[in-house]
Amino acid sequence: MKAAKRIGVEAVGWLLLVAGVAALILPGPGLLMVFGGLAILSQQYEWAERRLDPIKYRALKGAAESVETPLRIAFSVVGVLFITACGVLWIVGPEQPGWWPLPDWLWLTGGVGTGSTLLASAVIAVALLIYSYRRFHGKPEAVAELERDIDEADRDYREIQHRD
């Protein structure tokens, strides 16, 4: 039973890690999934635990930078609206337009599954945007503390690398 649990947890960790790497390019919360996968894998592997803090702090730095200026906030909101619109389009699944030059099977590939994933990504993006705004916007002391945490995590990581 213990081995089955370990295998299941490890499978979920690897799935999140691989899906997160893919979502760095594709629509989806890539860095969040990479962090989640590493957090799960860190229960089994020391190498994952060593990489957890640097990634966590880099993700938080990205969150802080995303709400630094009104223009960045506006771009984030436009991005969320675009992902939402794409999700709705995939779910509604309109007929392929006459101008579509590719094969029929490439029109809105994935259907409702893809649309639902896009909408879930939009909800996660809104939640992260609100979190980032409340935690970092107009709070230089929070950003400075984050910079110190990043420097400390990088130092710790380098020390561990030199010992190995």
- Claim: this prediction has a pTM higher than 0.85: no
Name the pLDDT band for 28 (thresholds 50, 70, 90). low
Q: List Cα–Cα distances, 153 to 34, 55, 114, 149, in angstroms.
A: 17, 9, 36, 6
Q: Whole-angstrom Cα distance, residue 120 to residue 133?
A: 20
pLDDT digits (tens, 9 = 90+) for 66-113: 888 999 999 999 999 999 999 999 999 888 888 989 988 888 888 888
Name the pLDDT band for 134 (thresholds 50, 70, 90). very high
Q: How many Cα atoms are found within 13 Å in the side-chain-facing hemisphere of 154?
A: 8
Averaged pLDDT of the chain: 86
Q: How many Cα atoms are found within 13 Å in the side-chain-facing hemisphere of 103?
A: 3
Amino acid symbol at 21: V
Backbone phi, psi, residue 109, to 5°: -60, 135
Domain limits, the chain? 1-50, 64-164
